[in-house]
Structure 1
Amino acid sequence: MLFALICKDKPGHLQVRLDTRPDHVNFLNGLNADKKLAFGGPFLDADGKPNGSLVVIEAADLAAAEAVAAADPYAKAGLFESVDIKPWNWVFNKPAEA
């Protein structure tokens, strides 16, 4: 099942994002078969600076998706003002399954 993690950064925390980014990227790239990254990237403000994230993961259930969100180095660093986790259905332009 797919879940969209919609994360909003706390105002004034850009440096936290920049400092934590390498660990965040390694974490997402390290997700395994039972918790898998589908795609993700930052939301941008009017100046083109990141101010949140959209991460879509494959997980068994909501509890597993919540565990991924809580373990993300960005979350552990206190970057996010809010994290909304929603079940999501990929309908359009879905890559062919291998």
Structure 2
Amino acid sequence: MQFVILCQDKPDSLDLRLRVRPEHLDYLHAQGDALMAAGPFLDGEERPIGSMLIVDVASEAEAKALADGDPYAKAGLFAATQIRRWRWGVKPPKA
């Protein structure tokens, strides 16, 4: 099952995001095939202000565990996190 994980950073948290970023990237790379895509949301000045991950896991509980295990989440970066069931409808990546 595919899920989108939407994360909104707390205000004025860019320093925390940048400090934890190496651990966050290591964590994402360790997810293997479960991670389909990931990247930051940007403000008008191209600064990251949140994250979006698309994951392919067995259940919403597994998606939540993946989100909760992210070093960004553990560091308290996010003001809000949403997990939504999702299906790739148009222009899926080539296998």
Normalized against structure 2, the TM-score is what?
0.96
- Residue 20 of structure 2 corresponds to 20
- Residue 11 of structure 2 corresponds to 11
Q: Deviations over 1:3-42 (max 9, x none)?
A: 1000000001101100001110110110145xx1000100
Unaligned runs of 5+ in 1: none
Unaligned runs of 5+ in 2: none
> Alignment partner of 1:21: what SS?
helix
4+ long deviations beyond 2 Å: none
- Residue 52 of structure 1 corresponds to 50
Q: Deviations over 1:31-68 (max 9, x none)?
A: 145xx100010000111100000110111000000000
Q: CA deviation at 1:92?
A: 1.4
Normalized against structure 1, the TM-score is what?
0.93
RMSD: 0.9
- Residue 77 of structure 1 corresponds to 75
- Residue 93 of structure 2 corresponds to 95
Distance in 1 of aligned mates of 2:25 and 2:55: 14
